[in-house]
Amino acid sequence: MVSPDNPFTYEDVGATRDGRCPPGFHPLHLRTRVGEGEAVFRAASEAVMTWGMHRAMGVGITATADKAAPGVDVTVGLGPLKAPCRVVWTVEEYRRAGWAYGTLPGHPERGEEAFVVDRTGDGTVWLTVTAFSRAAKWYTRAGGPATRGLQHAYARRCGTVLRRLCAGFEP
């Protein structure tokens, strides 16, 4: 549900569900091995769905619900920078769980980012971060490739932190 008072700042809402990157946006796709087994999958899913992974990264998260669901507003805080978003879609299946949020007015970027945990047939648990973005503020435009480098570092850190959070659940 999109509020007319606070619409998304990009057109192709939900494109990360299919892994698409709309024209004019920069893609990001990073997959990190988290661990193995059902217990790791459950712990990783819970940490992603309830903002635990983000909070463990030291990122400020303010959300209108305790768990990701379509329509939940989320503000990500990195120091003085505030990045308002809204959850676009979620998935909670036997071997897959996650969500994506899209940018709202005031966010330094335009686009979408998804965080999905999946468990493959051999029991390996993965975190995949998929995103597309482009600058929305003067300082992100000025940052150019350095801004995209920070986004990639953030995605890598998500995987590292989630692996650490789930380490005690390995078989």
Q: What is the pLDDT of residue 1?
A: 42
Is 144 a residue whose pLDDT tops 90? no
Q: What is the pLDDT of residues 69-91, one digit of tens each?
A: 999 999 999 888 899 999 999 99
Q: What is the pLDDT of residue 147?
A: 81
Alpha carbons 12 and 66: distance in angstroms, whole number = 26
Alpha carbons 168 and 154: distance in angstroms, whole number = 23
Is 95 a residue whose pLDDT tops 50? yes
Is 4 a residue whose pLDDT tops 60? no
Q: What is the pLDDT of residues 38-63, one digit of tens each?
A: 999 999 999 999 999 999 998 899 99
List Cα–Cα distances, 144 to 130, 136, 139, 151, in angstroms.
Answer: 19, 11, 9, 11
- For a pLDDT cut of 90, what percent of the chain falls above it? 77
Here the tokens at position 3 are: 């509020």
Query: Considering the entire predicted model, what is its pTM?
Result: 0.93
Q: What is the pLDDT of residue 146?
A: 82
> Under CATH, which architecture does the 23-169 domain have?
2-Layer Sandwich (3.30)
The domains of the chain are located at 23-169
73: CB partners within 8 A, 6+ apart: 6, 63, 64, 84, 85, 86, 87, 104
Tell me if 85 sits within 8 A of 72, measured CB to CB: no
